[in-house]
Amino acid sequence: MAKKFDPNIMAFLCNWCSYAGADLTGTSHFHYPPNMSAIRVMCSGRLNPLFVAAAFRQGADGVLISGCHPGECHYMQGNYLARRKISLFRNLLEFMGISPERLQMSLVSASEGKKFSNVVKEVTEKIRELGPLTIFEE
């Protein structure tokens, strides 16, 4: 039997909302696929698209960026700035022949533990369908 493809997903979670949301997912015992590794950043606006490129280069098949809801950013506007950068970077990835679905963004607040587990499930399923990322392999 062929082995099922298990994607590597790198998640960048904002300290104030999504990381706390992910924490709540754990303490509330909601299940989510173990394919995701989380990196905590202080704000989703901290995210340089180069982080995403470097994650892809080092073996990630998909990247998830999660921040606060609009208007709830701890730094007032970081998530708005992130949204701009990510939407343009997705277009650039598509132009280069990399599916933009590999870069996902979600908005999860500290109280949405259930939503976080659903987001990770959804992203994992999407990346599983797309298969391994090949342009970053020799």
93/15 Cα distance (integer angstroms): 26
Q: From the CB of 135, what's the least distance to other proteins, in Å?
A: 6
The reply to whether 77 sits near other proteins by the rule CB under 8 A is yes
Strand (E) or helix (H) holding 9? strand 9-14
88/100 Cα distance (integer angstroms): 10
103-107 vs 36-41, strand pairing mode: unpaired
The reply to whether 63 sits near other proteins by the rule CB under 8 A is no
Q: From the CB of 28, what's the least distance to other proteins, in Å?
A: 20
Which chain residues interact with other proteins by CB under 8 A? 49-51, 53-54, 56-57, 70, 77, 80-81, 83-100, 104-107, 119, 122-123, 135-138
